[in-house]
Amino acid sequence: MAGGARRFPNISPQDGRVLGHVHEATREDVDAAVRAARHALPAWAALPQDERVRLLHAVADGIMARIDDFVAAEVADNGMPAAFARRVDVPRGAANFRIFADLVRNVPTESFAMTAPDGSPAMNYTLRTPRGVIAVVCPWNLPLLLTTWKVGPALACGNTVVVKPSEETPTATALLADVIAAAGIPAGVFNVVQGFGAGSTGEWLTQHPGVDGVTFTGETATGEAIMAAAAKGVRPVSFELGGKNPAIVFADADLDRAVATLARAAFENCGQVCLGTERIYVERPVFDRFVAGMKAAAEALVIGRSDDPATMLGPLISIGHRDKVLGYYARALADGATLVTGGGIPEVDAALAKGAWIEPTIWTGLPDTSAICREEIFGPCCHIAPFDAEDEVVGRANDTPYGLCASIWTRDLARAHRMAAAVEVGICWINSWFLRDLRTAFGGAKQSGIGREGGVHSLEFYSELRNVCIAL
């Protein structure tokens, strides 16, 4: 793990305390990390597949053996409720190593018999080889889960990695480095460089000529900058970017279930989930009932310290991000929104007064052209609007530069299939949200991403296919 002379504070989003200081990698540190990954690549790629699988399972075991340490790290850095970290973030982090380790051992490759022009037989088969050194640039909203979502398949395919975690959440990745080393994975296979984006570690890493591919989860503007850097050397990218995800609730839906699930979609992890729902369209006959249900759900959320088992909503990641979200809260009212609930900063204990706390917020009454309905806010909020016809709501849901996911609620099976085909997204849930099978394709359409992750789809980025043709 590289670290330069410059340091930056790691600040608690709960109370503003300085948790510690992090060494910001220099350009020389980044170069050293890439060279270490390059040096380790041949031996790691040549390791027998069963041995790599064994080591990755050992990493998963190591994560779960230190689950308390990982939960504490995520709670301290990110502010997510401990129950959420223990239920979702850390177990999924371990699962990402297991599922991709097992997948590479079982995924088939193709072979074809053919006849050459002279009539002699020939055979083609495919080899799957590592892509090389992968730069992994991670977000702060689900640090361990989203880091291992990339590192797991990268290592399983025989690549080596250089990981840059978000400067907001540096600790879990440092812990992961300890677990990986303790599992017996050779030095240089997994490398960590801490720091910022533009003009710092992230820029130097994505521009480095020794990197063979870049994978990134985060906002679209940053993805554009990384894509420009990766263009030099024609290096491939895998991106999961921004979203303004719609939910569509028809009058025949199970309304209680829809409210309970979409309240999670809007408010879980303080709204800091890439798959979260900030736009909800509800068929007019049940609109008032749905809004009342969402209001009750939002007001029932328990806001408090993330290590309190009763807490359901922690803080935003930082005061700076809260200022951004509060700016949208003010913009909604200026644009004429009806405030259903929330809209400000909640009362918290005096010891938490310097934390990035914010109220879960619901609006109605805005046109689809409003910034609130078009721009990703990434906070615990949603706008709810009525609709009257299926074709109408499809057009409104698709009227966005983004296309990450959608959630459709109806008991009409034919309509569910029509809607799934009509919405322009990479992931469509019917009567559910955030229900994930890690073998399935994950990613966004339009400006929400490039490529797909999950199952064999991850292997397509983290490996190269080589056709071998043998004249017999």
213: enclosing H helix or E strand? strand 213-217
* Pick from 58-62, 385-389, 455-459: least confident: 455-459
**Residues 214, 269: one domain?**
no
CA distance 298 to 292: 10
Q: What is the predicted pLDDT for the residue at 2?
A: 58
Q: Are 360 and 266 in contact (CB under 8 A)?
A: yes
Of 413, 439, 442, 437, which is closest to residue 426 (Cα–Cα)? 442
**Token pair 């020389």 in the structure block, residue:** 28
Exactly one of 274, 373, 382, 405 is catalytic; which is it?
Answer: 274
| 442 falls within a domain | no
**Residues 91, 65: one domain?**
yes
Mean pLDDT for the stretch of residues 24-39: 98
- Give the whole-number percent of the chain exceeding pLDDT 70: 99
3-state percent helix, strand, coil for the chain, nearest multiple of 5: 45, 20, 35
* Other residues' Cβ atoms within 10 Å of the Cβ of residue 457: 17
Structure confidence at residue 1 as a pLDDT band (50, 70, 90):
low
Q: What is the predicted pLDDT for the residue at 342?
A: 98
| 342 falls within a domain | yes
Q: Per residue in 312-356, pLDDT tens?
A: 999 999 999 999 999 999 999 999 999 999 999 999 999 999 999
Structure confidence at residue 277 as a pLDDT band (50, 70, 90):
very high
Q: What is the predicted pLDDT for the residue at 374?
A: 98
Q: What is the predicted pLDDT for the residue at 287?
A: 98
Active site residue 428: no
Mean pLDDT for the stretch of residues 405-423: 98
Q: What is the predicted pLDDT for the residue at 250?
A: 98
Q: What is the dihedral of CA 174, 175, 179, 182, to 10 degrees?
A: 70
**Residues 418, 464: one domain?**
no
Which residues share a beta bridge with 136? 163, 215
| 443 falls within a domain | no
Q: Per residue in 188-233, pLDDT tens?
A: 999 999 999 999 999 999 999 999 999 999 999 999 999 999 999 9
**Residues 425, 299: one domain?**
yes
Q: What is the predicted pLDDT for the residue at 275?
A: 97
Q: What is the DSSP string of 73-97?
A: HHHHHH---HHHIIIIIHHHHHHHH
**If 0-12 CB within 10 Å is exposed, 13-18 middle and 19+ buried, where does residue 413 land?**
exposed
Q: Per residue in 107-125, pLDDT tens?
A: 999 999 999 999 999 999 9
**Residues 237, 258: one domain?**
no
| 2 falls within a domain | no
Of 375, 442, 396, which is closest to residue 99 (Cα–Cα)? 442
Q: What is the predicted pLDDT for the residue at 325?
A: 98
Q: What is the predicted pLDDT for the residue at 4?
A: 57
Find the CATH number of the domain harbouring 227: 3.40.605.10
Q: What is the predicted pLDDT for the residue at 19?
A: 97
Active site residue 157: no
Q: Are 423 and 406 in contact (CB under 8 A)?
A: yes
Structure tokens belonging to residue 443: 């990613």
Structure tokens belonging to residue 296: 């009750």
- Domain of residue 310: give its range: 245-437
Structure tokens belonging to residue 182: 């303790």
For 444, the 3-state DSSP assignment is coil
**Residues 307, 432: one domain?**
yes
**Residues 262, 124: one domain?**
no
Q: What is the predicted pLDDT for the residue at 134?
A: 98
**If 0-12 CB within 10 Å is exposed, 13-18 middle and 19+ buried, where does residue 310 land?**
exposed
Q: What is the predicted pLDDT for the residue at 146?
A: 97
Relative to beta strand 445-446, strand 402-403 is antiparallel
| Number of independent structural domains in the chain | 2
Q: What is the predicted pLDDT for the residue at 3?
A: 57
**If 0-12 CB within 10 Å is exposed, 13-18 middle and 19+ buried, where does residue 35 land?**
middle
Of 355, 358, 347, which is closest to residue 267 (Cα–Cα)? 358
* Other residues' Cβ atoms within 10 Å of the Cβ of residue 404: 26
| 67 falls within a domain | yes
**Residues 120, 213: one domain?**
yes
* Other residues' Cβ atoms within 10 Å of the Cβ of residue 118: 6
| 380 falls within a domain | yes
**Residues 270, 183: one domain?**
no
**Residues 290, 402: one domain?**
yes
**Residues 108, 136: one domain?**
yes
Which residues share a beta bridge with 228? none
| 216 falls within a domain | yes
Angle in degrees, CA 16, 85, 145, rounded to 5: 105
Q: What is the predicted pLDDT for the residue at 241?
A: 96
Residue 237 has pLDDT above 70, yes or no: yes
Q: Are 112 and 124 in contact (CB under 8 A)?
A: yes
Q: Are 315 and 358 in contact (CB under 8 A)?
A: yes
CA distance 63 to 270: 25
CA distance 91 to 98: 11
**Token pair 């046109």 in the structure block, residue:** 367
Find the CATH number of the domain harbouring 314: 3.40.309.10
CA distance 101 to 448: 27
| 1 falls within a domain | no
**Residues 217, 268: one domain?**
no
Of 65, 142, 53, which is closest to residue 99 (Cα–Cα)? 53
- Sign for the pseudo-dihedral over CA of 181, 186, 189, 195: positive
Exactly one of 167, 240, 278, 283 is catalytic; which is it?
Answer: 240
Q: Are 163 and 151 in contact (CB under 8 A)?
A: yes
Average pLDDT, the chain: 97
Q: What is the CA radius of gyration of the chain?
A: 23
